C-alpha cells in the first residue's frame, strides 16, 4: 500500500480533518493536503511524518507494518486472518474477567497443539534415524546369500 493512501486513510479512520491534523501536528494544512494527494509526497521529511504519526497515535514501526494496512483495507485479508479478527473483535466485547479466562484457555490450546506437533516431528526424526541405522547395518553385513 502506498504512502499517500496510508496517510489519507489514517486521517479519515481517526475522524480528523486536514485542519485538525495541521493544528495538532504543526504541519501546514496545505502541506498535508499535498502529501495526501501525492503532489509533494517526495518532499515529506521524517520529522513531518513523525509529527503526523504522533497525531494518529502511531510509531513508524506501526505505520510501515501490516497492521495499519489491515485497518485501512481489511478486504485484503485472507480467510484465516478475517476469522482471527472476528474472534478478537468478539473477545473485546466481553467483560475483562471473561477475556482473561478465554485468553488463558486459548494459550493452553496453542501450547498443547505446539507440543503435539513438536512430538510428532521428533517421532518422525527418530523413525528416520532408526531406518537409516537399519539400512546402514544391512549394508555392512553384505548381501544375504542363503
Q: How far apart are CA 16 and CA 63, in angstroms?
A: 17
**Would you call 120 exposed, middle or buried from its count of C-beta atoms within 10 A (0-12, 13-18, 19+)?**
exposed
pTM of the model: 0.51
pLDDT at 44: 94
Low-confidence ranges of the chain (pLDDT < 50): none
Work out the number of other CB atoms within 10 angstroms of the CB of residue 22.
Answer: 19
Amino acid at each position: 500500500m502506498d504512502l499517500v493512501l496510508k496517510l489519507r486513510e489514517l486521517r479519515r479512520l481517526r475522524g480528523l480533518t486536514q485542519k485538525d491534523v495541521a493544528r495538532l501536528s504543526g504541519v501546514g494544512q496545505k502541506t498535508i493536503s499535498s502529501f495526501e494527494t501525492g503532489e509533494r509526497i517526495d518532499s515529506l521529511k521524517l520529522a513531518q511524518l513523525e509529527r503526523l504519526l504522533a497525531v494518529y497515535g502511531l510509531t513508524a514501526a506501526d505505520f510501515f507494518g501490516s497492521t495499519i494496512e489491515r485497518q485501512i483495507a481489511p478486504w485484503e485479508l485472507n480467510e484465516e486472518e478475517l476469522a482471527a479478527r472476528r474472534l478478537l473483535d468478539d473477545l473485546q466485547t466481553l467483560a475483562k474477567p471473561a477475556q482473561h479466562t478465554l485468553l488463558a484457555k486459548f494459550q493452553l490450546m496453542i501450547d498443547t497443539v505446539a507440543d503435539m506437533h513438536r512430538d510428532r516431528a521428533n517421532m518422525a526424526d527418530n523413525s528416520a534415524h532408526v531406518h537409516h541405522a537399519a539400512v546402514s547395518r544391512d549394508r555392512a553385513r553384505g548381501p544375504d546369500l542363503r
